[in-house]
Structure 1
Amino acid sequence: MDAALVVGVPASGLPAEEAAFEGRLPVEWEMLNQPVGSIEDAFTATIGPNLGEINWASLAWPDVPEAELHGESEHAEVTLLFNTRTRELDEPADDHTVLVHVRRVNIDGRQRREPYAHWLAAQVGLTVIGPAQRC
């Protein structure tokens, strides 16, 4: 297969030889409006040990009155990083990282921990394990 003709080819039909991609990497691909759960397994299999990311944008965090959280959509994203720790893909890792994008909260001039990140992690039985990253 001619590497110049890979547009529109299913991942399983891409060339296996690394040389076919020389000068064509990194690849950026955008798929809009895909439901959660529809591409993750195929992407994970395709990416293998390479670096990559899936980003879900245009989300909305819900109102959580009992936690004094007000709905948020401006800073509501989730990014799944494959084999890296940063969105710049410059810190390789042997596992994956989930970034939850939330607004920082300032109360009385002091920055507080990102309450939505902690609340969201708790909803799936997890906790925030890393420090906040500034974008």
Structure 2
Amino acid sequence: MAISFEKAFGIHPQGLQVRAQRAELIASNIANADTPGYKAKGMDFKAALAQASAKQQSGMTRTNEKHFDVRTSLNNGVGYRVPDQPDTGDGNTVDVQVERNLYLENSMEYQASLQFLNSKIKGLRKAITGGQ
């Protein structure tokens, strides 16, 4: 009997990918905290995960290089964040404390997903080898 990794792992690999993208987005916000006119970006995790899951399930590929690749046209739930603080005068909307908290939260969720996948892999390995 064949093992389907997509069924075994579920949506967790896509969750890790979206969390990694979210970490890059938050790190970009922190790096640009002093850049005049920079607008903080945020990610709707639920929408991004749904899009990542749909991309994996849809087998759509381009048959001609002039066709649009539907899978890359999605924005993964990325948009500008509504600022919590008033404008400081330079047009930058990054609140470093908020970004640090979001980064920490995302990091913990990434680690939890990684541990879950790790336990799934151990379970599959145990099923394949018979517990040896």
Max Rg structure: 2
Same-fold call, TM > 0.5? no
Higher strand share: 1
Higher helix share: 2
Asked which structure has the greater RCO (Cα within 8 Å, sep 6+), the reply is 2
Please state which band the TM-score falls in when normalised by the shorter chain. Answer: under 0.3
Give the TM-score normalised by the residue count of structure 2: 0.26
Give the TM-score normalised by the residue count of structure 1: 0.26
